[in-house]
Amino acid sequence: MQAISERSATARKRLSSPIASLATVVIAVLWSLPTAGLLVTSFRPQADIQRTGWWTATSFTLDNYRQVLESQTSGRSLSQAFVNSVVITLPSVLAPLAIALIAAYALAWIDFKGRDLLFVLIFALQIVPIQVTLIPLLNLYVDAGLAGTYWPVWISHTVYSLPLAIFLLHNFMRGLPKELVEAARVDGAGHVQIFLRVLAPLLVPAVAAFGIFQFLWVWNDLLVALTFANTPGTNPMTVALANLAGSRGSAWYLLSAAAFVSMLLPLIVFLSMQRFFVRGLLAGSVKG
Amino acid sequence: MRRTPPIRVLSRALSIAAATLLLAACADTAGDTAQGTAGCEAYQQYGTFKDKKVSLYSGIVAPEDEPHINSYKNFERCTGIQVEFQGEKEFDTQVQVRIKGGNPPDLAIFAQPGLVKQLVETGKAVQAPDTVVANVKKFWSESWQGYVTVNGKVYGAPLGANVKSFVWYSPKEFKAKGYTVPKTLDELKTLSEKIAAGGQKPWCVGIGSGDATGWPVTDWMEDMMLRLSGPKAYDDWVNHTIPFNGPEATGALDAVGEYLKNPAFVNGGLGDVKSVASTQFQDAGLPILQGQCSLHRQGSFYAQNWPKGVNVSPDGDIYAFYFPSKDDTSKPVLGGGEFVVAFSDRPEVKAFQTFLASDTWANEKVASTPGGGWISANTGMDASKLTNPIDKLSAQILQDPKSVFRYDGSDQMPGAVGTNAFWKQGTNWVTGQSTKATLDAIEAAWPK
């Protein structure tokens, strides 16, 4: 058996071999080629986009971006849709996080009858495709008089994301050393104190990871928004941009520029928080 | 905890967002104060309301939505009713979701008469009030009235219209090469052969359209059906009183095949016959601008697809001629349109619905669409106010007493055929399937 230091040395050697580097570069290029093509396309004039491929690009223009930013949907400007997107996304990320943290704590550290069964049931809910719930949920919202407000889309995103959120956070919490919780208990801490004082600081990477996940999902979501935020006043960016193509698709050349406009905020969020993202993902998936 | 940069970025974004919202709110109130009742005589019949809203849902999005919103500015000002217009690309599926979910809009604009019938059968559509019925009877021809009538009751009113029997061409090219606009189907064939003999593919065709790929084939076939077998056989075929795979339909599709499946005729600037299926319909006519093809059959709405700066006029870069009839004794016209159906009978909804069915609205819409691209079959529409040459030509064709108008057949057929088998089999047909196999398969798909 090799010692750990030797093994890591071998791993480092293998991973930094020229072949591995080449493979990485090839994968990275293949992976980013479509996005690069999209970026080039977004700067090309309309006539060029419609006639030739992006790799033949010679002339560039900012016209597409100007048109996208000045566009209106049902008489509402794109900035309104941007505000709607933010208004929809923030509660839809914070609400499931708050609920899932409490639920995950209970499922991980409070012993009660039927705990494992409950956990399996919650996890199993992930199997239900959201499409089958759209019309029944809409019925409930209409009966409750919530149609036309932000509430349906907030509640729906929260409900849809809870199973995965509880699962990820539960696994992460179970992975923390038992002794930490026991020591706190011996010192006379209640559940609230254990959660806030002992566990909360350790949970930051997991919370950040799920937060980014949920943020990207809600920001890029079209289906849930179309169904539950379906008034001109509550439409998010995704809906506004989808409408850009024109009634008969005559303006589809705008979509590449539109894609980059809608990518901007997620890109900023992701780049600034990516170190949590990777760490949190590893932490949640592998039980330590 | 340390305050992290991303939170600061986010909070900054939020404050910008809040500022934008505030600005938008201010702009709104500024508009509201500029109210008055000048020029409201024509609107008195609709009454006056206070704090009432009507929602209008449609598949009409930018840039066509703005003229729509502007066309009832006067109505809003004079009656006090606020119209909440909403246009969405996913209208066709979302409107069904909203109706089933118990959250229908007050009014919705549909493009398929077949869908109107389906909605009536579900019991959610509200029968049109007498004022709307009166307008429909007054301003629309009998065939248009038929599209909104289910079991003898009127369930809505027609709105816009378009003409599909158009062939786009370049007047400059025709002049330079000495071609003349064909008056009969035979002349169209001769012209195509003449262009082909000159070494150029005469036609460019594209039937790609996402999950609706194949629909341009249905328009071709319907146009041929109308011309070769006449309106009576066409109606029987659409209503399935004669089989979909009968001799009339076979003749029509074979006639289309002489163009679409003829390697000498297609596909100019785009490739061989197979490229017909892979080319997006929006892009299919553009090779005319490069002189790579000369003819492109597509409806009046294709005017939107020419890039900015292209001169669309009778002696410009691009124009359209009527897809010729068999001979000059008949003039069948294939077209489409829009219909407004109500899901509520509140007084303000009735008032707005009545307004949309009136000649006042049709003319307001023309006035608020200065760039053109919109016409109506409303006989109260003043055609002399149209500015766009294609709109003028469309209106002229629609109002020609010799014209026999027929609505797009696939839009009237049951969904399983009109928006499914007809499209898919039409695509297979272009890529090599025989006429017989194609028509047999569509016939088999007709709901029993």
Say if B308 is an interface residue toward chain A (CB within 8 Å). yes
Q: How far apart are CA B411 and CA A262, in angstroms?
A: 35
Q: Is the peptide bond before B63 cis (omega within 30 degrees of 0)?
A: yes
Where among B394, B419, B436 does a domain terminate? B394
Residues B229-261: tens digit of each pLDDT: 999 999 999 989 999 999 999 999 999 999 999
pTM for the complete prediction? 0.79
Left if phi > 0, otherwise alpha if psi is -120 to 50, otherwise beta: which for B271?
A: left
Same-domain status, B141 and B201: no
Q: How many CB atoms lie within 10 A of CB B46?
A: 23
| pLDDT at position B426 over 70 | yes
Same-domain status, B192 and B287: yes
What residues of chain A lie within 8 A of the CB of B101, using their CB?
A: 134-135, 138-139, 142, 227
Same-domain status, B180 and B319: yes
CATH number for the domain that contains residue B383? 3.40.190.10
**Mean of the per-residue pLDDT values for chain B?**
87
Please report, as a single letter, which amino acid is at residue B205.
Answer: V
State the complex-level ipTM.
Answer: 0.76
Q: Does a structural domain hold residue B427?
A: yes
| pLDDT at position B424 over 90 | yes
Q: Does A250 sit within 8 Å of B305, measured CB to CB?
A: yes
Same-domain status, B317 and B346: no
Alpha-carbon gap: A255 to the closest alpha carbon of chain B (Å): 13
pLDDT (0 to 100) of residue A283: 55
Nearest CA in chain B to A140: B101
Domain borders along chain A are 4-61, 73-285
Nearest CA in chain A to B305: A250
CATH entry, A73-285, from 3.30.43.10, 1.10.10.10, 1.10.3680.10, 1.10.3720.10: 1.10.3720.10
Q: How far apart are CA B224 and CA B228, in angstroms?
A: 6
What's phi and psi for A31, nearest 5 deg?
A: -65, -40
pLDDT band for B10, please (50, 70, 90 cuts): very low
pLDDT (0 to 100) of residue B322: 94
Q: How far apart are CA A225 and CA A220, in angstroms?
A: 10
Same-domain status, B178 and B308: yes
What residues of chain A lie within 8 A of the CB of B59, using their CB?
A: 247
The predicted model gives B378-390 an average pLDDT of 89
DSSP codes joined into one string, B54-97 = EEEEES--TTTHHHHHHHTHHHHHHH-EEEEEEE-TTHHHHHHH
Highest mean pLDDT among A11-15, B59-63, B407-411 belongs to B407-411
Nearest CA in chain A to B102: A139
Q: Does A50 sit within 8 Å of B283, measured CB to CB?
A: yes
Same-domain status, B170 and B283: yes
Same-domain status, B244 and B355: no
Q: Does a structural domain hold residue B226?
A: yes
DSSP codes joined into one string, B354-404 = HHHTSHHHHHHHHHT-TT---B---TTS-GGG--SHHHHHHHHHHH-TTEE
Same-domain status, B293 and B218: yes
B336 forms beta bridges with B162
Same-domain status, B189 and B304: yes
Please, which residues 61-120 of chain A have a Cβ atom closer than 8 Å to chain B?
71-75, 77, 79-80, 82-83, 86
Number of domains in chain B: 2
Where among B376, B394, B412 does a domain terminate? B394
pLDDT band for B64, please (50, 70, 90 cuts): confident
Residues B86-103: tens digit of each pLDDT: 988 888 888 888 998 888
* Half-sphere CA count of B191, side-chain side, radius 13 A: 22
Q: Does B98 sit within 8 Å of A138, measured CB to CB?
A: yes
In chain A, the largest separation of any two C-alpha atoms, in whole Å, equals: 74
Q: Does a structural domain hold residue B412?
A: yes
pLDDT band for B328, please (50, 70, 90 cuts): confident
pLDDT (0 to 100) of residue A68: 87
- Containing domain of residue B368, as a range? 44-163+336-394
Same-domain status, B296 and B358: no
Q: Which of A45, A248, A256 is nearest to B63 (CA)?
A: A248
Same-domain status, B102 and B176: no
| pLDDT at position B36 over 70 | no
Q: Which residues in B121-135 are b (16+ Cβ under 10 Å) and which e?
A: eeeebbebbebbbeb
E strand intervals along B164-226: 166-169
Residues A206-215: tens digit of each pLDDT: 888 888 889 9
